[in-house]
Amino acid sequence: MKPVHGYAKQGAAFGYTRQRGLHSRIVTASRPNAAPMVVASRLRKGPAGSGKGAARLIAEAVGAVRAMGAAAEIIVRADSAFGRRPVVAR
């Protein structure tokens, strides 16, 4: 969680750390012969659940990786909060 200061920060809210902040969610893609690169990202309110919006984020990331020319099987690694039915279906 990234702490922010001031009342004018759009989307900032108090989360589990009890500080006003934003959660960042970043998706990276890597290949054996290239450095990892960011293919999707989101900023969410402080109290947002970890799995909220995950299916859409993964769909966007997979679309970006396919657009870069990946034709092989894509493996997604995530924490347990992403183990929801919509995420697995994507």
- pLDDT per residue as tens digits for the range 2-37: 666 566 665 666 666 666 666 678 888 888 888 888
pLDDT at 48 over 70: no
| Domain extent listing, the chain | 2-89
d(C-alpha 55, C-alpha 52), whole Å: 8
Model-level pTM?
0.67
> Per residue in 66-79, pLDDT tens?
998 888 888 888 87
Token reading at 55: 């299916």
